[in-house]
Amino acid sequence: MNSSKLKAIFYTKYGGPEVLQLKEIEKPSPKDDEVLVKVHAVSINDWDFGLLEGDFINRLLNGLLKPKRKILGSDIAGRIEAVGKNVTKFKTGDEVYGDLSSYWGGFAEYTCAREKSLALKPASMSFEEAAAIPQAAMLAVQGLIDKGKIHSGQKLLINGAGGGVGTFAVQIAKLYGVEITAVDSTSKLNMLRSIGFDHVIDYTREDFTKNGQRYDLILDVKTNRSMFDYVRALYPGGIYVTVGGSLSRLFQALILGPWISMISKKHIRIVALKTNKDLLYMNELFEAGKIKPIIDRPYKITEFVEAFRLFGKAEHKGKVVITM
């Protein structure tokens, strides 16, 4: 391959994983406030899949008829190969990771990133582990700590617990001494037990909003039910936090949240992701052996269609990572 060319996972029209292509493109050059990263690993997030399929909201963000940004991928890990003249935090050779949301371009062998979008990767952390962290771990931290005000002695439920956010959230919540219940599909229950959940609920067999159990805090990755269902599963004074899911349900949370809080003394909160805010905290937890990213398995760049299909079916355990 020409040294000025690189491989990238590319798409020119909206659709499923089948519209993705592996192509050669020109190697980018960093701007004055950017670094050039040799990407070693990148993980798939809901935003990637939404931008790929092109629902109404994502078409407004990325082009009505065809995508403006043709290379997806936000959560990257790699090594810096070149730095812009205004960059002060990093130097050539540094191993870094971070969330490039709104800039994208991660599903490529090289990408440019602003220095504010990256953090140094601990030497003991693999590139695959680093790529699994940014978006999922930030949502878990900001959902549990910033919005959920988690504290010891609580009963916590995580809906959609078997993906990236849930598998980080249980490890963080354990540090606070809470009792944790997971809700997910049958195939993920053994994995969920193995990483520390005290109780598991198979959503195909049991509705946690109707079984009479109550919780102090609900962290919701799916947001696929009415807000009134969630409120029913909370203790008085309890907090429901959504970090993503159905746009119509998120809109319901936004509109009804203040009214529900006023009449029921139960609280509805939405996480507006602050990208990369808590990466240094995650570094501390990782180096202390308190968290470990759960990865379904790393996929090679040539297996990208299979990786996206697995993600689209929501059958993955933890994060789906592609090595570049």
Whole-number pLDDT of residue 217: 98
Question: Are 102 and 147 in a shared domain?
Answer: no
Q: Quick one: 26 and 93 in the same domain?
A: yes
Overall number of domains in the chain: 2
Judge if 115 and 181 occupy the same domain. no
- The answer to whether residues 181 and 261 belong to one domain is yes
**Does any domain span residue 17?**
yes
Q: Is residue 25 assigned to a domain?
A: yes
Residue 276 placed within a domain:
no
User: Are 30 and 125 found together in one domain?
Assistant: yes
Residue 240 belongs to what domain range?
135-270
- Same domain? For 250 and 318 the reply is no
For residues 223 and 254, state if they share a domain.
Answer: yes
Position 108 in a domain = yes
CATH of the domain at 37: 3.90.180.10
Residue 308 counted as domain residue: yes
Question: CA-to-CA distance for 62 and 102, rounded, in angstroms?
Answer: 10
**Are 320 and 311 in contact, with CB atoms under 8 Å apart?**
yes
DSSP string, 183-231: EE-GGGHHHHHHTT-SEEEETTT--TTTSS--EEEEEESS--S-HHHHH
- Give mean pLDDT in consecutive 10-residue pieces for the chain, a chain of 324 residues: 79 96 95 97 95 88 91 97 96 98 94 96 98 98 98 97 97 97 96 97 96 96 91 95 83 84 89 96 98 94 96 95 96
pLDDT for res 1: 46
The string of DSSP letters for 50-71 reads HHHHT-HHHHHHH-SSS-S---
Who contacts 274 (Cβ-Cβ below 8 Å, separation ≥6)?
Answer: 138, 142
